[in-house]
C-alpha cells in the first residue's frame, strides 16, 4: 500500500491508517441494496490513509456558499476485481462528502480520482458530486507513470489554502489522462475542467470515427467509400485541433 502513498510525500501528521468497514458505510449511510452489492463485490479493504486539514498542513480552510474545504481525505482501496472500477470511484466519491482523493489498487494496477462536490442545500452535512476526475489504469513500474507519480509530491507545491491544495491535486491527477493524447505527462498542470471538456469532445469525435469506420466496411461503392474516408479525415483533423489546443495551453505562459 505504501508504494504509491510514498509518492505523495504528505506531511507526517497527515498520515493515518484506519480501516473503514463496509458495514459501517452501509449502516451509516443507509445505502441501497445495489450499492451495497457494488461495495461488497469490489472492495477487499478500504483504508483512510490521509487527512489534510489546517492542523496537518498549516493551510487555511475555505468555506463558500457552495463548497467547504475543511478537510481533504485520502482513501486507499484494495480491490477484489476491477470489473466496476469507474462505478466504484463514482460511488465512493458520492459517499464521502468531503473533498476526497481515492486510490484503488488491484494487483499492481492503480487508479486515482478526485471529485468536484457542492454542499447539499437540503442537508448541509452532505454533498452533491458534480464531476468525478479519474485516471486511467496505472502501473507504477511504467516509465510514463513515474513522471505522473512524481507530480503528486506534496512538497513540490506551494498551496494557498486547502481549496488550492485540492484543486492542484485534482489537476495533477487528471492530467494523467493527457498521456494518452500527447504521449507524455505535462510539465505544467492544466485545469481538470478544461481537460475534461476536451476529453469529452474527443470522445464524441472518436465515437463518430468508429461509426464511420463501420460504415466504410459496409459501403459497397467506391464513391460511398471516398465520402466516408473524407469524413473520417475531417473528424481526425478536429481531434488533432483539440490536441493542439492542449499543447498550446501547455506552451502558454
Nearer Cβ to other proteins (24/204): 24
The answer to whether the Cα torsion of 134, 135, 137, 138 is positive or negative is negative
By the rule CB under 8 A, 209 interacts with other proteins: no
Pick the closer one to other proteins by CB: 120 or 136.
120
Tell me which of 34, 107, 125, 223 binds other proteins, using CB under 8 A. 125
Interacting residue with other proteins among 2, 121, 124, 207 (CB under 8 A): 124
Residue 96 as a binder of other proteins (CB under 8 A): the answer is: yes
Considering only 15-23, 142-150, 165-173, 178-186, which stretch makes contact with other proteins by CB under 8 A? 15-23
DSSP letters spanning 33-93 = HHHHHHHHHHEEEEEEEEEEEHHHH--B-EE-SS-EESEEEEEEEEES-STTHHHHHHHHH
Q: Between 127 and 166, how does the x/- string for binding to other proteins read (CB under 8 A)?
A: x---------------------------------------
Is 86 an interacting residue with respect to other proteins (CB under 8 A)? no
Contact pattern for other proteins over residues 30 through 69, marking x by CB under 8 A: x-----------------x--x-x-x------------x-
Does 22 sit near other proteins (CB under 8 A)?
no
- 152 DSSP assignment: T
- The long-range contacts involving 174-181, CB below 8 angstroms and separated by at least 24 positions, are 174/114, 174/133, 174/134, 174/135, 175/148, 175/151, 176/112, 176/135, 176/136, 176/138, 176/148, 177/135, 177/136, 178/246, 179/136, 179/144, 179/148, 180/136, 181/243, 181/246
User: How many other CB atoms are there within 10 angstroms of residue 193's CB atom?
Assistant: 16
Binding status of residue 73 toward other proteins by CB under 8 A: yes
Q: Which of 35, 36, 62, 71 binds other proteins (CB under 8 A)?
A: 71
- Return d(Cα 209, Cα 25) in angstroms, integer: 42
Grid cell digits, residue 195: 481537460
Residue selected from 11, 16, 144, 238 as contacting other proteins according to rule CB under 8 A: 16
- Bridge partners of 161, per DSSP, are 60
Return residues touching other proteins (CB under 8 A): 16, 18, 20-21, 24-25, 27-30, 48, 51, 53, 55, 68, 70-71, 73, 95-98, 119-120, 124-127
Amino acid at each position: 500500500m505504501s508504494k504509491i502513498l510514498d509518492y505523495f510525500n504528505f506531511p507526517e501528521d497527515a498520515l493515518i491508517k484506519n480501516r473503514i468497514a463496509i458495514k459501517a458505510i452501509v449502516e451509516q449511510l443507509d445505502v441501497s441494496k445495489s450499492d451495497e452489492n457494488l461495495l461488497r463485490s469490489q472492495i477487499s479493504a478500504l483504508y483512510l490513509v490521509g487527512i489534510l486539514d489546517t492542523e496537518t498542513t498549516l493551510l487555511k480552510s475555505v468555506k463558500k456558499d457552495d463548497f467547504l474545504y475543511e478537510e481533504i481525505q485520502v482513501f486507499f482501496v484494495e480491490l477484489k476485481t476491477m470489473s466496476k472500477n469507474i462505478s466504484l470511484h463514482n460511488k465512493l466519491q458520492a459517499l464521502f462528502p468531503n473533498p476526497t482523493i481515492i486510490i484503488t489498487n488491484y494487483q499492481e494496477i492503480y487508479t486515482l480520482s478526485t471529485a468536484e462536490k457542492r454542499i447539499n442545500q437540503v442537508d448541509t452535512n452532505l454533498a452533491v458530486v458534480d464531476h468525478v476526475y479519474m485516471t486511467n489504469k496505472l502501473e507504477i513500474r511504467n516509465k510514463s507513470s513515474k513522471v505522473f507519480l512524481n507530480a503528486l509530491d506534496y512538497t513540490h507545491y506551494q498551496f494557498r489554502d486547502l481549496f488550492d491544495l485540492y484543486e492542484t491535486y485534482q489537476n495533477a491527477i487528471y492530467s494523467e489522462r493527457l498521456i494518452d493524447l500527447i504521449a507524455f505527462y505535462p510539465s505544467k498542470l492544466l485545469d481538470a475542467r478544461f481537460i475534461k471538456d476536451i476529453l469529452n469532445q474527443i470522445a464524441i469525435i472518436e465515437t463518430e470515427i468508429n461509426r464511420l469506420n463501420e460504415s466504410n466496411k459496409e459501403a459497397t461503392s467506391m464513391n460511398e467509400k471516398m465520402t466516408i474516408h473524407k469524413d473520417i479525415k475531417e473528424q481526425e483533423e478536429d481531434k488533432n485541433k483539440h490536441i493542439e489546443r492542449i499543447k498550446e495551453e501547455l506552451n502558454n505562459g
